[in-house]
Amino acid sequence: MSRASKLTLLGTSLFALGTVYFVHWQQKNEQDAMHQGVIRDIEQQRIKRERQADFDMQRALEAEYKKEQTVRDTTAEIGGRGGGGTSGVAR
């Protein structure tokens, strides 16, 4: 083989190996990025479940407290007045 053909073979072989390595490296990085996204999504779902459980517990406590205490909505009383010129404050 001539020197030119040997250099061409070497160049194309190095280019092919470089391409294979680059594609492998790129796929590995994408796989790692997707895995981190899955972990982040699982963590967000866990936080959402915790917040929903806290909200449900607060709602149950509110219902229990409303059973034990007399609660009235003062905002409805203020809005229901006939516009006596005051903002619901007794003088």
Under the banding of pLDDT at 50, 70 and 90, the label for residue 84 is low
Q: What is the DSSP string of the chain?
A: --HHHHHHHHHHHHHHHHHHHHHHHHHHHHHHHHHHHHHHHHHHHHHHHHHHHHHHHHHHHHHHHHHHS----HHHHHHHS---SSSS---
Per the domain annotation, does 6 fall within a domain?
no
Q: What is the pLDDT of residues 22-64, one digit of tens each?
A: 999 999 999 999 999 999 999 999 999 999 999 999 999 999 9
**Number of domains comprising the chain:** 1
Per the domain annotation, does 51 fall within a domain?
yes
Under the banding of pLDDT at 50, 70 and 90, the label for residue 71 is low
Which comes out higher in pLDDT, residue 67 or 11?
Answer: 11
Per the domain annotation, does 71 fall within a domain?
no
Q: Which domain holds residue 35?
A: 23-63
